[in-house]
Amino acid sequence: MQNGDLAQGTTQILSGRYRLLRRIGRGGMGEVWLGEDPRLHRQVAIKMLPSHNQGDREYLQRFEREAQAAAALNHPHILPVHDYGEQVLPNRQAITYIVMPYLSGGSLEDRLSALADTHRLMPPQEALTVLAQAAEAIDYAHAQGIIHRDIKPANMLLRGDDWLMLADFGIARMLSEQERLTQTGTGFGTAEYMAPEQAQGKAVPASDIYSLAVIAYRLLSGHLPFQAETPYATTIQHIIMPPPSPRQFNPTLSLATEQVLLQGLAKDPSQRPPSAHALVASLQQAVTGAPYEITRPRQPLQAIAAPLSPVAATVPAIPQTEPAATQKTFADTVPAGKASSPTTAISRRKVLLGATGTALLVLGGGTGILAFIEHDKQQGPQPTTTTVTGSRPQSTKTPGPNDPVMTLLSHTRPVSSLAWSPRSDTLLLASAGEDQQVMLWDIAAIRQGLANQKTPHTIIEAGTGIDMQLAWSPDGAYIAIGNGKLVNPNDTFNTGSFVLVYTADLRSTVNSHLVTTFLIALAWTPGKYLAIASSPSISSSSNIVALWNPAQPTQTPTPVSFSDVISALAFSPVTAQLAIALPNAIVIGQAAIVGNRTTWKAGAHSLQTNNLGLGADTITWSPDETFLAAANKSLSPPVIDIWNWKQGSTITSPIVPDSSTMLTALAWSPAAGSPLLAAGTKNGSVLIWKIDRSSPVSGGNLYPHQTLNGLSAEVFSLAWSPDGQWLAASYKDVNSSILVWSVKPS
């Protein structure tokens, strides 16, 4: 029985929930259907694997392990798994299925087929960008112990024009499992892209790198290295035949590019590049001619900071209240202009910051590749003011009114969260990156020439999460760091998220709070509580919100349950109204702790998000909490909805004039009475609107009040300083840059 019989001629319901609409793909590992999830009002892609005997428990156990492995992956370039299950058919057969987001942009295979029809090749820089995104996903999966085994253009889905998401991890195996799919006698994969050792039942991480090299070969030459009349014949070619020169298909390729491609196609896995990133870095160097050398971190990074006042031997507890008059300023505890004398535990920092004569080299093109080269001699002085107008820093230029006044460079991966200390007597910016590091930048010291833009005041390792979140306590005494992952090495699937609370200088941990589910959002109330939104499982359709007092870490109040998926949280700055973004609306109310449980009292209005597609995934309050603004970062053309929340009415729907871009971040200036609302974009600009409540614009286009010059790369996160005079943005560029602008109050 074919899976297609399940929905033959009519719309069927899968497992009592998913409505099947039409088949959109078919391959060796099953069919893909376009479906609808009526509960969450969204379209989904459902991959149905071939049918099996209903009582085959061994198969079901293997499938469940594989599906759990896929669901545990959390990366911006990996298509997430929403759900998985089994459907029993009338003939006592059954099918297993995996539910994923539906992306309408097609696949890389579709893009390549369209180019082939017009006898064109993908532009080299576009090809490198595609490969770099795939490499990030592959290396991340390998770090989690997962081999994909079927890397091919058909599994590389496109969201929009240039965002790639690698799919089909549902059939991957955990490296640590004793029972492997390859032991069944099959080398699962697609013949045109399968590594020789995988075809012989011995898949290793380097097998995925081989498959990526085949894709690179096709992108740059227009041909596959091996292709025969049958899959078996193609597989034999991969095993025994040397790959043909790609320059015979594309004479414009350099010899260096050919050598990199052939190294990636080495028969011996040990002769291939050590990682997918290394393969793409070598290709970038070969194509652009930029020199490079990959330097890997040699050991975990410990907390690094300028000398501070001694820290007590015992971990301090957070006091319930702390008078502002008794708090020391950051300058009181940090001797200006001094540097620490770290021990050998900071070898990675020396590489990052040039302490041993390390020069930072950037490979252009926005592919996210960062390289380091070490010299025997010390570097000369670095400029203290840098203006960035493109993909590379340029010094000695006087910044214009829309140009950044500084560029912070130390993270090796993009920064997912930025947060300014709320204290008015300091000017501190915290950044959390996908390199697992949290850094603290003393912007006042940088302005005064007492520190430079490549040396953060403090660096700590703070987990292994790729989407870390930051939240300062209202008094600026503590900072919460969320969404790192804890993994029990003895139980691959025992994963969770945690929240750590540090002192303001990041020198010591105050308390940690383990969230045994998946952390979604983190927000510190105007009082003493942290609000934590999480999901019971990565595929759950209901989420929970709990308040937690870090001063009482052992007390975990019972959470409030919401029947819908939560995408964002935000507290109003005056009356602590909690806004919760759900798929179709933003609900606003009061959260509190009563006894040992979190309570929720909804307000009079919920704000409908009909203009935002699947709902808001970024929300922000005006400083007087008159307005609430929201956007959906995947919506094109982009829309920002703004509500007068007390009235529950939309006042305007500003549409970004350049409808080809996409919004990536949203932040309202927190300065008292400020009308300035900032948005980051996919193309790198930062737009600022002036929303005047005395004469709000109703409907139509609302053109930006100011456009700040950024980089030719995606804005990842935004943050305003408490006084609204400084705006910081992180970028997904080759430098993982953080730009800071001086913004005139309006």
Per residue in 698-722, pLDDT tens? Answer: 444 467 889 999 998 999 999 999 9
pLDDT of residue 655: 61
* Three-class SS state of 307: coil
* Token digits of residue 541: 């359709």
Which residue segments constitute the domains of the chain, with CATH numbers given? 3-101 (3.30.200.20), 108-288 (1.10.510.10)
Say how far apart CA 576 and CA 530 lie, in whole Å: 12
Say how far apart CA 572 and CA 462 lie, in whole Å: 28
* Token digits of residue 265: 């196609």
At a CB cut-off of 8 Å and minimum separation 6, what does 154 contact? 27, 107, 108, 109, 190
Say how far apart CA 108 and CA 154 lie, in whole Å: 6
220, containing H or E segment: helix 205-221
pLDDT of residue 746: 65
Say how far apart CA 470 and CA 417 lie, in whole Å: 6
Mode of pairing for the β-strands spanning 13-14 and 18-27: antiparallel
* Helices and strands (H and E) in the chain: how many: 11, 44
How many residues can be counted in the chain?
746
pLDDT of residue 48: 83
712-724: burial string, b at 16+ Cβ within 10 Å, e else = bbbbbbbbbbbeb
pLDDT of residue 57: 74
Say how far apart CA 484 and CA 495 lie, in whole Å: 10
* Token digits of residue 349: 């920092």
What residue ranges of the chain have pLDDT lower than 50? 1-2, 4-5, 7-10, 172, 174-187, 291-396, 486-494, 698-701
pLDDT of residue 173: 53
Q: Is the peptide bond before 637 cis (omega within 30 degrees of 0)?
A: yes
Catalytic residue among 37, 83, 139, 150: 150
3-state secondary structure 433-472: ECCCEEEEEEHHHHHCCCCCCCCCCEEEECCCCCCCEEEE
pLDDT of residue 492: 39
Concerning whether 150 is annotated as a catalytic residue, the answer is yes
Mean pLDDT over each residue of the chain, to the nearest integer: 76
pLDDT of residue 68: 80
* Token digits of residue 565: 């998926």
